[in-house]
Every structure is written in structure tokens, then in C-alpha cells.
Amino acid sequence: MDSIVVRGNGPLSGQIPIAGAKNACLALMPATLLSDEPLTLTNAPRLSDIRTMTELLASLGAEVTALQDGKVLATSCHGEINPVADYDIVRKMRASNLVLGPLLARLGHAVVSLPGGCAIGARPMDIHVDALSALGAEIELKDGYLHAEAKGGLKGAVHEMRFASVGATENFLMAASLAKGTSVLKNAAREPEIVDLAKCLRAMGAQIEGDGTSEIVIEGVDRLHGATHPVVADRIELGTYMLAPAICGGEVECLGGRIDLIESFCEKLDAAGVSVEQTHTGVKVSRKNGRIHAVDVVTEPFPGFPTDLQAQMMALLCTAEGTSVLEEKIFENRFMHAPELMRMGANIEVHGGHATVHGVEKLKGAPVMATDLRASVSLILAGLAAEGETVVSRVYHLDRGYERVEEKLKGVGAHIERVKAS
């Protein structure tokens, strides 16, 4: 397995291009199942998760062709469709469950494997099942697979979710787009990736209003047509790279970034003493002098502080002046980076969903292990400011959500190398 070696190298400077959003693209690609006409996605990220979704869609009978060095995905689903999403692919990536809604809407039936356990939490699918059942689907679990059927097709309905789940909102949106009649989703997730999916579905002929708010109205249509859609910028990749100059000092511009996608995060950076500015071409971040101030963070659904930036923010707060408390309210097991940061000399106490970070002067490089996608990049960020060498192993986690991380950080002056598995 590859590992990444990082050496603290002082302030950073330059520009980092921000790619299209992984979590938007993983919802946009299954939308191709809703129509027999081509759907083209531009500004697509080049990541192993995108390749896994490509593999899954191909197993269902769709075609996905990566063009222009992978930045454009030409997708279509005009042939015979296989309604079974196999465990062997689904277990690699939870987002595979985003084919359930579109398959149900297109075929009236679907058989989708449950993804199984995940490092950061149990992550059941009950909210997805309740939402699609509200549209008239009968869903039962058999041999680890959800067997879903909508005799006579899906029917519009009013449904309130018990929690604003991102994935369940995306499955409901895609399913209701082809249901008979009007659907109203209450307590819907409001993430920018939901807005991007709704934009794409509208470009395909869907009638959707209210995306970005907690109440979405969908007027079902008989069929959807082809479209071309640019994937929104990746706000989590953006936040991650904004933390690099915040941790090391210096000034970096994240090209293509938009502050409005992560305002709550930018407010915390500002409170910590980091300057953040929207420019014509991106987001400029700088930290001139003095130590970072401690801040408290609570993760919440959008527009609250994103859970996908919690680990990276913890890396920053390890060397802050004072004590910070981070509360993780979305996933029940998302502090596995803490013991690894403590191997680098951080002073952290974890109690259930709370982590108390007592800022130390300096971190020291050490061999550490990545446990999940966001934890892996938090260790790289910590290594950028640590004394000596940090070796992060199991970086396959990282490649799921960050394209060319070494090149991007090297481009602003970081000392970082990938060591290929021998």
C-alpha cells in the first residue's frame, strides 16, 4: 500500500485548483438511469470513488465514458437495465445506494445490496426506505439486499424525514422526478450537492422547487431527456486546502473555490485568526503571524459546520493557543484521527461525541495510519506543520476523495512525496 511522506517546510504560497465535488458527482452519475438519453457531466473529479460508481453503473447496463483526461463523463442508459446492484461493488462504496431511487423510478423495481458497516458509523438506510415507501414502493430486506417494488409506478406524496439525510434526499429527489403527481419532501437536506443535483434534474426536464431549503416540491413528469451539467466545486476539498496555509502560515489562493459553499467553516477560521477572502478567481487564505486562537466547533447538517471538515479542523486546533472543544453530531465514530494526532504530540481527550483539544506549541513528525478519507488528509495537514518527518500509511483512503494531493500541495511549496508500494 502506498504511503505519503510529509516534512514541515514553513509558510506556503501560490494557487491550488479546486476540482468538481465528489459528493455531487456521486449523486449526479446515477441520474443517468432516469433517462434513455445521454447525460454529460463536466468538471468531474478524477477519484477512485468515481471509478467505483462507473463500475457499478456499467454493471447495471449504463455506459460511462471518461473524456478529456477524466474531467468529462459521458453517460447514457438506453439499453436493457439490470435492476441488481451487487454487494461486491456496493460494499466498496456506500454512495452506491444512490442507484435505488433512480432504478425504482425507471423500472418500478430494484434490488440493491445494503452497504454494510463503515469506519465512521453504523449508517443504516431506514430514512431512505421510509422516503421511498412514502412514494408507494414496497421494500423488504432479504439476504442483505433491499428488494423494492412499485407496482403501477411511484406516486407523488408528502413526506417528512426524521433526519435531514443527504443520501435519502437525493434518492427521493430522483425517484419523485418520475412519480405520478406532486411530492413534497419536508426536513430535506440542504447541502450544495443537493442543489447541484436538482439543477441537473431540471436540465433533464424535471420540475423541482425549493432545493437548498428544508422543503422541496417535485412535480413528477412522464420522462426525462438528456443534458449537460457542470459539477459544482468541491467545498470539502476547498476547506481542506484552505487549512494548509492556516496551519503552516503563508498565503494560498484556492482557484474555483466559493465561500458561500462553506460559510460556517469560514466563520470559524476567521475566529481562529485566519484571513479568508473571496477573489474573482477563488478564495484567498492567509495567516501572517501569531498563533491560532482556540475555537469550539459543532458539526451539523448544512448550513452548519460540515462533519467532513471536522478532522481537518482538529489538525489546525492541535497547535492553537488555548483549549478547543469539537462536538461531532452527525456520525457516532468520527474521531479516529485523534489517537494518530496524539502520536504526533497532540493533547486530545475524546469522550463519546466530544473531543477536547489542548493546544500545544508544536507537533512532531511520526509514522501514522489513515483510517478513513477525511482522517487521512487531517494527518497530512498536521504533518505539513510538524517538526521532522510524518509518514501516513493506508493512503488508499485519501485517493477516494482527493485528486493529485501531493502535486497540489507541492505546487505551493510543501515537502510531500508519495512512496509507492513495492
Phi, psi of 406 (to 5 degrees): -65, -45
Q: Binder to ligand EPZ among 331, 380, 386, 402 (CB under 6 A)?
A: 331
Shortest Cβ 347–ligand EPZ spacing (Å): 26
Shortest Cβ 52–ligand EPZ spacing (Å): 11
Q: Contact region for ligand EPZ (CB under 6 A) — 121-129, 253-261, 285-293, 319-327?
A: 121-129
Query: Beta 415-419 vs 12-17: how paired, if at all?
Result: unpaired
Q: Binder to ligand EPZ among 106, 128, 268, 337 (CB under 6 A)?
A: 128
The residues that bridge with 209 in the sheet, in sequence order, are 217
Q: Binder to ligand EPZ among 218, 401, 406, 408 (CB under 6 A)?
A: 401
Cα distance between residue 96 and residue 89, in whole Å = 8
Shortest Cβ 122–ligand EPZ spacing (Å): 6
Query: What residues contact 319, with CB distance under 8 A and at least 6 apart?
Result: 247, 291, 292, 359, 360, 361, 362, 363, 385
Determine if 52 is a binding residue for ligand EPZ (CB under 6 A). no
Determine if 124 is a binding residue for ligand EPZ (CB under 6 A). yes
Shortest Cβ 281–ligand EPZ spacing (Å): 25
Q: Which of 389, 372, 306 is nearest to 338 (CA)?
A: 372
Determine if 308 is a binding residue for ligand EPZ (CB under 6 A). yes
Determine if 417 is a binding residue for ligand EPZ (CB under 6 A). no
375 residue type, one letter: A
Determine if 31 is a binding residue for ligand EPZ (CB under 6 A). no
The residues that bridge with 286 in the sheet, in sequence order, are 251, 275
Cα distance between residue 100 and residue 108, in whole Å = 11
What is the total count of residues that contact ligand EPZ (CB under 6 A)?
Answer: 25
Q: Which residue is nearest to ligand EPZ (CB)?
A: 167
- Binding residues among 358-387 for ligand EPZ as defined by CB under 6 A: 373-374
Cα distance between residue 60 and residue 281, in whole Å = 39
* Count of beta carbons in the 10 Å neighbourhood of residue 160: 14
For residues 130-156, one letter each, b for 16 or more C-beta atoms within 10 angstroms of the residue's C-beta and e for the rest, the string is bbbebbbbebeeeeebbbbbbeebbbb
Determine if 165 is a binding residue for ligand EPZ (CB under 6 A). yes
**318: annotated active-site residue:** no
Considering the complex, state which of residue 128 and residue 199 has its C-beta at the smaller distance from ligand EPZ: 128
Q: Tell me the CA distances in angstroms from 255 to 125, 238, 252, 284, one per residue in order.
A: 36, 9, 9, 9
Shortest Cβ 395–ligand EPZ spacing (Å): 15
Q: Contact region for ligand EPZ (CB under 6 A) — 2-10, 104-112, 143-151, 166-174?
A: 166-174
The active-site residue out of 118, 248, 254, 266 is 118
Q: Tell me the CA distances in angstroms from 189 to 214, 299, 333, one per residue in order.
A: 6, 14, 21
Q: Which residues bind ligand EPZ (CB under 6 A)?
A: 23, 26, 94-95, 121-128, 163, 165-168, 189, 307-308, 330-331, 373-374, 401
User: Would you name the residues annotated as active-site residues?
Assistant: 118
